[in-house]
Structure 1
Amino acid sequence: MNLSNIPSKKKTAIIYSSVFLLAIITLVACIVIIAKFDSSQSKIWAAAVVGLTISAIIASVVGLLLVRMYWSQNAIVKKSFNFFMDEVVSHNSLGLIIYDNNFIILWTSSFIKNRFGRKWVGYSLAEFFNHYETHFDNNLQSLNFKDNESFYHAEIWPLKNCISIKDITLEQNMIQVYSNQLPVIGEVEIDNYQLYHSILSKEELYRVNQEFIAILDELVSNYNFVYRQYTNGKFLVFTNKESIDKMASIDFNFFSKIHSALKNSKINNHLISISAGFALGYQNLWEKTEQAKNALLQAQSRGGDQVAIFSNTERPKYFGSSSEILYDISRTKIKRIADLIEGKLRDPKIKKVICYGHANADLDAIGSALGIWALAKEYNKESYICSITQDSTTESAIEKIIPKDEEIFIRPQVANKITDESTLVFLLDNSQIDRTDNKDCINNTKVNNIFILDHHRLGTSVDFCPSVNRYIDSAASSASEIVTEILMFVQRRISLKPFIAQMLLNGIYLDTLQFTKKVNARTFMAAGWLEEKGANSAKSSEILKIDEDTWNDVNDVLENIQEVKPGYFLAYKDIPLSNDVISIASEEILKISNRKAAFVIAKLKGTKFYKMSARGLDVNVQLIAEAVGGGGHFGTAAAVSSEDFATFIDNVKQAIVSEKNESYTN
């Protein structure tokens, strides 16, 4: 063997091994000699003992040297490998935590030490994650948390008693950048622009347009925003999600600047407003454009002066609505829907008409349904109203006014059995299927045979009904007013029975508080036409009078009244009351001056639900009702909840306190 080519450490190992082997051989030989020769042969035996001792010492020393050399080399290799692996893992923004069966941290990698400190050994995993405001659960498989400006993703390996933590800041930032730059398409329009064309002078109209352009130009300066006008008073806009989020953070309040466009005009009582619809998240631009149009229509259907944002990943969002827009004196829209309904009724393929109001129907729901019922009868169609729940006032009116021999009302089971493609379905004083007495009301009919006639602001999308078949006018006093105008505009001469006219007038009287609110010229014209057809205003007033028991119920629920915030009063009691009594109680609160809004909560009689009735004077109580799952009108709204009484009250209080844009101060 040529030792010159062998490394020094290996030479040493060979020498140690040879010496160790020689010592072992000597040791064995000495043991054999001692075994064969007895102590009488003293010299040989003594030499063997000495050889045994020396060889044992040499073998032990050399053996220890060999073990030490191997252990040292192995430790160096292991240390270097572990260090290298830890560095590689840390370099890739990944750290490890090892814990025991009690979830106490035993060891942390250098990445964990560098990012989160060296103090965590001995602490529990719950304490570690709580420090970064993240809840740790033993059953979790992964979780995300944030420290300063860095984002982390933790994978939990319970069988290995190990947690890996990865820095995902780059990925999160890339996702955020991508999200911020998502294109958004919108439509912005001056509410009732065509109406202003007819009532404003050219100078005033020019001033309104200039104010509108100034607002849009300001948006161009402050945001990633461009616009193009494609017709008078209406603009197509392009922006991105980051800009929309910034605008939403200030509730799009820049649009309210146009309210004062006619401040110095002779007709400064006209409040100019803007509605806008934005669409984001949709992949195709044409779909995004259509959704922007739908969002604008939704904003205007809710009463205008607001912004609606539609997305394919979350529920619609609404902003603004701090005022009620000027009602449209033009009757072209009501004439169009009247012609459309009449055209359907002339169609020989249409055999049946079924009308639905809302559950716990009031006088307006039943009155408007009776109007359509009567119109269908004029065209010899089978006509019915599906309603099984009414408030006490309406039950009394039906009992007193509607003749017993009229076959009008049917139950949901019967309605479902006779509904088919030859059936027209009307939703009246309501635009939501789940608020009727029959959740399956449109299942068997054709989409083009569904109509909505309502005066409440839309809370959710109504895509189940074609847009041409909807007439939703929040400026109308009631659904009964809308149906009365339809009866006035149909081409066929209607021989309206007096009890139908009376129920329609009752509906108008109810929703206008006997012509004390939400009244315009069209309301008086509709009421006058109904009087000509046999309705009597004195009877309507009499129907709305409450008896002594109802008065006691109202006083009972109003005993516990409190001012939640200045001008906003809430009364509640866990007693069963009918729908109309709860509404009457909220109206009573506002009969005292300097009160802006009233809210009354009680249990709906015969159900497990609680109802909140809301009323407002120049206050948008609809926004507050929507916050607790309800909806309605600018000044009249309601909500029904299956929550327990205390929770529902707390949620209503929170909604009242939190809502900041209910009213508009000029």
Structure 2
Amino acid sequence: MKNKKLFKWSDAKLYLIVIAVLVGIIAIYQPILAIIGALVLGYIVFYSFRSVQEKNKDFTRYIEDLTDEFDSATKQAVFNMPFPLVLIDENGSIKWYNTPFLEMMVENEILNERLYELVPNISLDEILKRDKDNPIDLSYGDKFFKVYPNFVETKKNNITIKTIMLYWVDNTDYVLLDEFNKNDRTILGLVYVDNYDDVKNNTLDVNRPLVLAEIDKQVNAYFSQYNGIVRKYENDKYLVVINNEALEDVEARKFDLLDHMRELNVGNTIPITLSIGMSSAGDTLLEAYENAKASIDIALGRGGDQAVLKTGNSFEFFGGKSKAMEKRNKVKARVIGYALRQLIDQTDKVFVMGHKNPDMDSLGSGIGILRAIENRDKKGYLVLNGENPSIKNLLDRLRIEEPKLFEKFITTEEAATLIDEGGDSLMILVDNHKPSFTEAPELLEEVDKVVVIDHHRRGAEFIKDPVLIYLEPYASSTSELVTEVLSYMSDNINLTKLEAEALLAGITVDTKNFTFQTGVRTFEAASLLKRAGADTTIVKKLFRDDINTFINKAEVIRTAKIVFNTIAIGRLEEEMDDSLLIAAQAANELLNINNVEASFVLTHVNSKIHISGRSIGNVSVQLILEKLGGGGHLTSAGTQLSSMTIDEAEKLLIENIEKYLKEGEKA
């Protein structure tokens, strides 16, 4: 450490010290020479000191001259800057500006004016939040700018003054180019005629060519007005190519081609409906086509007569006004039955799962699938994490009358253990197609294959890569679909009396005692279950409630209110074990009020607000509740809202009902 300090002396000082030491030594032996040496040393020290001072003065003058030149160059650069520049204070008042900025402004006298008053698109708060690397995008007049802020602080009389420099970089060419590319981006769409064969077969021979030609004409004329290309590649299928600007116009018109086609009357005896699938997402034409294909699949899965538009990672729905038409041919049910039988035969363990808070349709269809598995001599399990009031009566009967069947009901943990033991596993989802709504979403990632059997209109969320899909929105219930599949899987369905009653209960609850969404095949399925031993009187007993449920349901009905003349809204203020059951039953009962076309009941469930929606068919409760993250059917739907009170949920519901009615989305 000492040596380091010693060697910090400059070389000049070191030389002078050495000379002084030598002069001292000489003084001992030759004093006269020492005096001469001392004088010489003094002169050297004086000369060195003067030289250093002169050099310091020269350097200071150089720095001052350089600073003056720099200040002059800076001022010249600022004054002659080719893009607009303005200086404002913390209050937004203009303190200085250059010529390009003045030329850009409409007003001539702008000094000391508030910038945000001259340029309405700019916000002082927004400026203060930004930095030089985070510019503000804004438009002024017919130009677009990126405004880069720079903050300068100066002191005057011990007061800190903050000045904001705003550099305006013209970004107009880039914005216009980007907008052109966006508007001109190629959009692919698919248009299917839902009921082409039915329209063709139910039209007189003399009118048939005119009807089919009019369908082509309507589709071509609609997209040709947007300079689009339409190519028919099958009798009932069209490929559409338009640009993004045209798509925005079609979207603004809410795909009114659906309405034009439905109102077409040139000799056809039944209305013509279309399904449209389009996508504004996709970097390549192949991706655009795949996204359009996914959109048309969703439109068909939701029952047709609607358009589905994919934007980014989400879907938008238009139309969906009509009830899904019942398809009378049973080919698909037979094909599904055969395919399901093969999948079960090739699997070691089969799991069945419904939705959270299962109802009679979810449990009944699950029990029906267990029977199908049993008929193939395979191990089957139904994933159920507890009971709720809507299925309690059926579970109580199962414990007593069918203990072996009840043993097949397992929890999520037990199912995970069985899957971990190895072997091929198959998961059959019933009465639901949304992963987040299943009893145990985590199990979907563990099993090898997934099958979906559901009667709800398809939503944006869907099971990833299922091996088999039986999604039929026309059906009354999943129990109806399962009953049909059972009849095609084997000659003898082997249903026990209780199993048949469980399936019949599922049909009964979703059709509201065979009054809604009921078709010919619904009664055919019911008759098959009746032949298997189902007793309608016992089925009715499965829906009996205790006195408290009746009282709470009556209170919801008593306090309900009517909005928009035809919509009933009720509330169950207190959370209880059977809140969901009461809400669903109360919503059904509210439909019995004169002039009420739809009803909604709100209640508390697990720190969320649950909404049950019901309709007689003139209002789509599905479209209303889909906007709130839910789903279901035209006449029966539900949703759950988080992080809000029941008052806030009701307000949000009313806003969506009003929006739906204004858009004219009535069935």
Q: Is this a same-fold pair by TM over 0.5?
A: yes
Q: 2:461 and 2:423 mapped to 1: Cα distance?
A: 23
Residue by residue, what CA displacement relative to the aligned partner does 1:637-666 show, whole Å, maximum 9, x if unpaired? 11111131232222111111111456447x
Q: 1:369 and 1:124 mapped to 2: Cα distance?
A: 70
Aligned-pair distance for 1:109? 3.5
Q: 1:573 and 1:129 mapped to 2: Cα distance?
A: 52
Corresponding residue for residue 8 of structure 2: none
Residues 545-556 of structure 1: pairs in structure 2 closer than 5 A:
545-556=544-555
- Flag the 1:89–1:613 CA change in 2: closer, same or farther, 3 A: same
Matched, 1:213 2:216: yes
Stretch deviating more after TM superposition (553-562 or 369-378): 553-562
Residue by residue, what CA displacement relative to the aligned partner does 1:441-492 show, whole Å, maximum 9, x if unpaired? 211222xx211111111111425133x6111111100011111110011135
Q: 1:549 and 1:179 mapped to 2: Cα distance?
A: 60
Any conservation in 1 of the 2:433–2:463 contact (CA below 8 Å)? no
Aligned-pair distance for 1:150? 3.4
Select which of 208, 225, 250 maps to 2:253.
250
Q: Which amino acid is 1:508 matched to?
A: I
Corresponding residue for residue 282 of structure 2: 282
Any conservation in 2 of the 1:310–1:316 contact (CA below 8 Å)? yes
Q: Which amino acid is 2:446 matched to?
A: N
- Flag the 1:376–1:242 CA change in 2: closer, same or farther, 3 A: same
Corresponding residue for residue 47 of structure 1: none
Residue by residue, what CA displacement relative to the aligned partner does 1:221-251 show, whole Å, maximum 9, x if unpaired? 4212111111111111111111111000010
Corresponding residue for residue 179 of structure 2: 176
SS across alignment from 2:82 = helix
- Flag the 1:652–1:522 CA change in 2: closer, same or farther, 3 A: same
Select which of 154, 159, 166 maps to 2:169.
166
- Flag the 1:661–1:271 CA change in 2: closer, same or farther, 3 A: farther
- Flag the 1:362–1:215 CA change in 2: closer, same or farther, 3 A: same
- Flag the 1:129–1:609 CA change in 2: closer, same or farther, 3 A: farther
Q: Which amino acid is 2:641 matched to?
A: S
- TM-score, normalised with respect to structure 1: 0.81
Select which of 352, 362, 366 maps to 2:349.
352
Aligned-pair distance for 1:359? 0.4
Q: 1:418 and 1:83 mapped to 2: Cα distance?
A: 80
Q: Which amino acid is 1:223 matched to?
A: Y
Any conservation in 2 of the 1:184–1:239 contact (CA below 8 Å)? yes
- Flag the 1:471–1:158 CA change in 2: closer, same or farther, 3 A: farther
Corresponding residue for residue 608 of structure 1: 607
Q: 1:238 and 1:421 mapped to 2: Cα distance?
A: 47
Select which of 421, 427, 430 maps to 1:428.
430
Corresponding residue for residue 649 of structure 2: 648
- Aligned CA RMSD, in angstroms, stands at 2.8
Stretch deviating more after TM superposition (117-126 or 564-573): 117-126
Corresponding residue for residue 464 of structure 1: 464
Any conservation in 2 of the 1:95–1:166 contact (CA below 8 Å)? no
Stretch deviating more after TM superposition (364-373 or 414-423): 414-423
Q: 1:351 and 1:612 mapped to 2: Cα distance?
A: 40
Any conservation in 2 of the 1:621–1:662 contact (CA below 8 Å)? no
Stretch deviating more after TM superposition (108-117 or 357-366): 108-117
Aligned-pair distance for 1:520? 0.1
Corresponding residue for residue 36 of structure 1: none
Any conservation in 2 of the 1:576–1:603 contact (CA below 8 Å)? yes
- Flag the 1:284–1:551 CA change in 2: closer, same or farther, 3 A: same
Residue by residue, what CA displacement relative to the aligned partner does 1:179-222 show, whole Å, maximum 9, x if unpaired? 11111111101113234444444445434423322322322442
Aligned-pair distance for 1:103? 6.7
Q: 2:261 and 2:224 mapped to 1: Cα distance?
A: 18
Q: 1:204 and 1:261 mapped to 2: Cα distance?
A: 13
Q: 2:559 and 2:115 mapped to 1: Cα distance?
A: 49
Select which of 396, 402, 406 maps to 2:393.
396
Which structure 2 residue ranges, 5 or more long, are not aligned?
1-64, 154-163
Aligned-pair distance for 1:316? 1.4
- Flag the 1:389–1:647 CA change in 2: closer, same or farther, 3 A: farther
Any conservation in 2 of the 1:320–1:661 contact (CA below 8 Å)? no
- Flag the 1:114–1:610 CA change in 2: closer, same or farther, 3 A: same
Q: Which amino acid is 1:603 matched to?
A: H
Indicate the percent of aligned positions where both proteins have the same amino acid.
Answer: 24
Q: Which amino acid is 1:292 matched to?
A: A
Any conservation in 2 of the 1:630–1:640 contact (CA below 8 Å)? yes
SS across alignment from 2:363 = helix
Aligned-pair distance for 1:515? 0.2
SS across alignment from 1:584 = helix
- Flag the 1:162–1:609 CA change in 2: closer, same or farther, 3 A: same
SS across alignment from 1:558 = helix
Aligned-pair distance for 1:389? 4.5
Stretch deviating more after TM superposition (285-294 or 134-143): 134-143
Select which of 104, 108, 111 maps to 2:97.
108
Corresponding residue for residue 234 of structure 1: 237
SS across alignment from 1:441 = helix
Residues 159-558 of structure 1: pairs in structure 2 closer than 5 A:
161-203=164-206, 205-262=208-265, 267=269, 270-311=270-311, 313-347=312-346, 350-402=347-399, 403-406=402-405, 407-419=407-419, 422-446=424-448, 449-462=449-462, 464-466=464-466, 469-491=468-490, 493-558=492-557
Which structure 1 residue ranges, 5 or more long, are not aligned?
1-70
Q: 1:506 and 1:587 mapped to 2: Cα distance?
A: 16
Any conservation in 2 of the 1:387–1:437 contact (CA below 8 Å)? yes
Q: 2:113 and 2:560 mapped to 1: Cα distance?
A: 52
Stretch deviating more after TM superposition (539-548 or 630-639): 539-548
Q: 1:390 and 1:662 mapped to 2: Cα distance?
A: 40
Residues 109-128 of structure 1: pairs in structure 2 closer than 5 A:
109-116=98-105, 117=107, 122=112
Q: Which amino acid is 2:538 matched to?
A: K
Any conservation in 1 of the 2:298–2:308 contact (CA below 8 Å)? yes
Residue by residue, what CA displacement relative to the aligned partner does 1:103-160 show, whole Å, maximum 9, x if unpaired? 7654333344343456665567777776647862633343323335433322333467
Any conservation in 1 of the 2:349–2:423 contact (CA below 8 Å)? no
SS across alignment from 2:513 = coil
Q: 2:239 and 2:124 mapped to 1: Cα distance?
A: 43
Corresponding residue for residue 45 of structure 1: none
- Flag the 1:204–1:533 CA change in 2: closer, same or farther, 3 A: farther
Any conservation in 2 of the 1:620–1:635 contact (CA below 8 Å)? yes
Matched, 1:579 2:580: yes
Matched, 1:153 2:154: no
Q: Which amino acid is 1:150 matched to?
A: K
Corresponding residue for residue 7 of structure 1: none
Any conservation in 1 of the 2:86–2:97 contact (CA below 8 Å)? yes
Q: 1:217 and 1:391 mapped to 2: Cα distance?
A: 53
Aligned residue-pair number: 578
Q: 1:393 and 1:307 mapped to 2: Cα distance?
A: 35
Aligned-pair distance for 1:169? 2.6
Matched, 1:621 2:597: no
Q: Which amino acid is 1:652 matched to?
A: L
Q: Which amino acid is 2:613 matched to?
A: A
Q: 1:579 and 1:410 mapped to 2: Cα distance?
A: 23
Aligned-pair distance for 1:295? 1.1
- Flag the 1:204–1:620 CA change in 2: closer, same or farther, 3 A: farther
Q: 2:238 and 2:278 mapped to 1: Cα distance?
A: 12
Any conservation in 2 of the 1:130–1:136 contact (CA below 8 Å)? no
Any conservation in 2 of the 1:611–1:641 contact (CA below 8 Å)? yes
Aligned-pair distance for 1:494? 2.2
Stretch deviating more after TM superposition (132-141 or 188-197): 132-141
SS across alignment from 1:470 = strand
Q: 2:182 and 2:508 mapped to 1: Cα distance?
A: 51
Any conservation in 2 of the 1:620–1:662 contact (CA below 8 Å)? no
Q: 1:305 and 1:557 mapped to 2: Cα distance?
A: 35
